[in-house]
Amino acid sequence: MNRCAAIQMASSPNVSANLLVAEKLIAEAATAGSKLVALPENFALMGEHELDKIKIREVDGSGPIQDFLATVAKKYSVWVVGGTIPIVGNDSNKVRAACLVYNDKGERVARYDKMHLFDVNVPGTSEVYRESDSIEAGAEPLVIDTPFGKLGIAVCYDLRFPEFFRKMSMMGVEIVAIPSAFTAETGAVHWELLLRARAVENLCYVIAPNQGGFHVNGRKTFGHSMIVDPWGVVLDCYKTGGGFVSAEINLDRLEKVRGAFPALNHRRFCE
């Protein structure tokens, strides 16, 4: 078994301050025995305006946020799922919301670009989000081999698309990390429901780091970062503010659950 952690933050427009908080929480999670640590979406910047992320975008493979992720992974000997950071894309006026994965030697081993963009008027509020104004969508899901099992990545709004997770399931996924910045309003009704559903549907572990608190831009995020097992049991949950949750990833349990309840073998639609 290996212990994993989901980091919760209430990130600000100050990148340096956010990175200090992120490192502190990664260090604490590592001290508590975690070998895989996942950061939330937008961990390095929750800007005052949607386009602020363009100002700090980095070229793929080079930049202070990427250097930070490589450094902390090596320093604390942990695998790091790096939330999302803004990476230069094809459109000069937009970025890719890239989730970068680093191994415990500080080597980057994977990149996933957020595929589903949050263009939504949140019901019952005045909140309007148009991620497509500043973000280019990714095109491919990601599942990689790790010492902890086959790891897939989803980001926030991806959570609402079960066919996306089924695609990862067909790629052999055993653990899904879902860095997020779920709004308080939608999180209160859908966050846990969707996380547990995705875990149960795909008989996999879900590691869900979320933003959690009030932000300078007036936004409030839901928090409740959690880890869910393949039977839909919430193993740990951190409600609000900065902190982390941790739990054991037990692939023997996953295999037993899948063997006793072989729903994945009963699929009729596999394309």
Q: Give catalytic residue positions.
A: 41, 114, 156
Among 43, 217, 39, residue whose Cα is nearest residue 128? 217
Q: 62 Cβ partners below 8 Å, 6+ apart?
A: none
Task: Kindly state the tokens that stand for 261.
Answer: 């309840």
**Rounded-to-integer distance, Cα 251 and Cα 139, Å:** 29
Give the C-alpha separation, 115 to 112, whole Å.
Answer: 9
Q: Is 21 helix (H, G, I), strand (E, B) or coil?
A: helix
Distance CA 47, CA 66 (A): 18
Tell me the backbone φ, ψ of residue 14, rounded to 5 degrees. -100, 105
Instruction: Identify whether the C-beta of residue 172 lies closer than 8 Å to the C-beta of residue 201.
Output: no
φ, ψ (nearest 5 deg) of residue 73: -60, -45
